[in-house]
Structure 1
């Protein structure tokens, strides 16, 4: 029977505590914050006055509230090499981490992971058809900027547009030059979300020795083949299965399985001539959209049901938005997280990098999709979550969590040296309830500031 444990509060404190106790995990599958704020919003414009706020020394001219004003998206933890070093330390040698990121900001995360010591494998991409652009119309912007006459400065296709009638002036003619142009960081239709794959290096002289010692370091290929164990080799492109995405791929035919003849390339590529005669060549003898070469994981009603219950999205779910970089129907419904990840997708990622009997870690648990996926795959899962609303939802979604975690009542607060002493047990949730099992231990809160 699998287990799910939850560590509320700052995941860095939880990671340090577990590492000090010798806890190690076999894989990490997580969806960190994407840091979707501009450089100016994050650091301030040149010459801006420092923002003197609590826990801020003025080093940032402005503090960001994060995407949609959410503080969890503006902390910068996903681009902090020190955070990824903690992930590195809790992984067994050879262990892998799958970490989602934003298509606009993911390079920061990838660099931080590499700086922490991870060997970076080719980026995986989740391709979806439900995203939409949010560009500024260049023609209309110029008209509004240059023309002093109020109203609509363009020819509208909307017959019932409530704004004043169209008009034409010299400024409008300047805008006409830029008809069909747009600008902004969300100008193009979002269709790809990166999933970075990092690996902690082997501690032994080769992969075989590392596998024998630590039981981790290889990928489950046969268990993750497209369309089953005898299907195609898994790739680093993953589709949502939507008609829009499938339509992007051409119609192709695949060759039938054959045997390599010496010195002859029977349609295979990359080094076929060098293979020994008699080698069995791969082939499926099928035809159709080339999308069949890749895994497809559409969002299901169950995925939406859990997201709605967690408050991630509203009842009016609209299209299954995946991209973080805009506010769409889901976002306007008041949800805290603008994304929904299919459980089947998370199952595939977990199965791909976690050995039998392994432990999966998700330091950004959110609504618990990783935990549910791990449970279905037969793996134990360790969750960490800082947001109270999600902690409470996780406890409702996975009742067994309370069997592994005790709620602490903190006293003897020593603010002078930033330490607390945990001295008693209670079911009450306090400010530092994430220090769930540190009875009698002093905790240095400077690590959390």
Structure 2
């Protein structure tokens, strides 16, 4: 909210009009005499550019009541457990996180000896034989997701780093494992790169692309569309993290149906709840291909 406009309105003052702008769709408005006016041959709205009319409004010109919502936190909550996580999984089939389905992809060898990483390996100290290590593709997913620009900035700040490892005949050089036998015959070499390699990285999008934002035109020419559509790839990652095989996704605020589509794409069933009749039309348009492709349906 523009504080100076609110002050003038409260004072009953008429703001001075110093120009006009035109706007089409969700594009930024430009002054009528701007070189960008050609972008608005068919404007859907016009408005006045004004300046403060009162001294109080002039004092607070340029002030507002909120800043741009440039980050969207993801809240992962879980109902209090009756016992342990294992007991809850056995009783209800939910409660765990599908780590392997959401690992951070890498071409490096991310195998680890037993210990903090929870890998399955055994050491025979008498024969000094190599351990049997389970190899899982990708790094453990983090609770922070990056876009490509944030990842680049992180790498510029961190520089190239090397992870510790067990070297053939060289003993332990790692912070996650300590082994004092310097002549262990086990080859595991550290990887290197920027710090962003430890985080899931998604394509930067100011908003979801058009192909993921269904639009319906009414008979009067006005359009139905949702204002906060989430990127599909992000929602696919989230449903993969928490939904067990054959599970059902419940979205109590379905909006345009992004979460429902993500569930369908990952072969989950989904139940969506939405009170806005217009948004239900958007969901139906988005989910219609499921009928012809034989994919899991939503309801």
What is the TM-score with the length of structure 2 in the denominator?
Answer: 0.55
Write out aligned runs for 1:387-406 (5 A).
Answer: 387-396=276-285, 397-398=287-288
- Decide whether the 8 Å contact of 2:103 with 2:139 is kept in 1: yes
**What residue in structure 2 maps to residue 233 of structure 1?**
140
**What residue in structure 2 maps to residue 223 of structure 1?**
101
**What residue in structure 1 maps to residue 92 of structure 2?**
214
**What residue in structure 2 maps to residue 193 of structure 1?**
72
Alignment partners' CA distance in 2, 1:365 and 1:149: 42
**What residue in structure 1 maps to residue 179 of structure 2?**
277
Deviation at 1:381, TM superposition (A): 1.1
Judged with a 3 Å threshold, the aligned counterparts in structure 2 of structure 1 residues 210 and 194 are, in CA distance, closer, same or farther, namely same
- Decide whether the 8 Å contact of 1:249 with 1:291 is kept in 2: no
Point out the structure with the larger strand share: 1
Number of residue equivalences: 225
Match of 1:380 among 265, 269, 278: 269
The CA deviation string for residues 184-203 of structure 1, in whole angstroms up to 9 with x for no partner, is 1x2x2321112221112333
Alignment partners' CA distance in 1, 2:7 and 2:279: 44
Deviation at 1:256, TM superposition (A): 2.9
**What residue in structure 2 maps to residue 309 of structure 1?**
215
SS at 2:244's partner residue?
A: coil
Alignment partners' CA distance in 2, 1:215 and 1:149: 63
Question: Given the alignment of the two structures, is residue 249 of structure 1 paired with residue 129 of structure 2, yes or no?
Answer: no
Alignment partners' CA distance in 2, 1:182 and 1:258: 54
SS at 1:217's partner residue?
A: coil
- RMSD across aligned C-alpha pairs, in angstroms? 4.9
Alignment partners' CA distance in 2, 1:267 and 1:291: 18
Write out aligned runs for 1:22-41 (5 A).
Answer: none
Structure 2 alignment gaps of length 5 or more: 19-30, 35-46, 107-135, 181-186
Deviation at 1:382, TM superposition (A): 1.5
What is the TM-score with the length of structure 1 in the denominator?
Answer: 0.39
Match of 1:182 among 63, 72, 85: 63
Deviation at 1:366, TM superposition (A): 2.4
Alignment partners' CA distance in 2, 1:300 and 1:190: 11
Question: Given the alignment of the two structures, is residue 259 of structure 1 paired with residue 166 of structure 2, yes or no?
Answer: yes
Judged with a 3 Å threshold, the aligned counterparts in structure 2 of structure 1 residues 388 and 254 are, in CA distance, closer, same or farther, namely same
Match of 1:202 among 81, 89, 95: 81
Deviation at 1:344, TM superposition (A): 0.7
- Decide whether the 8 Å contact of 1:226 with 1:233 is kept in 2: yes
Write out aligned runs for 1:8-47 (5 A).
Answer: none
Alignment partners' CA distance in 2, 1:149 and 1:372: 49
The CA deviation string for residues 187-221 of structure 1, in whole angstroms up to 9 with x for no partner, is x2321112221112333x32223323332211111
**What residue in structure 2 maps to residue 367 of structure 1?**
256
- Decide whether the 8 Å contact of 1:362 with 1:384 is kept in 2: yes
SS at 1:192's partner residue?
A: coil
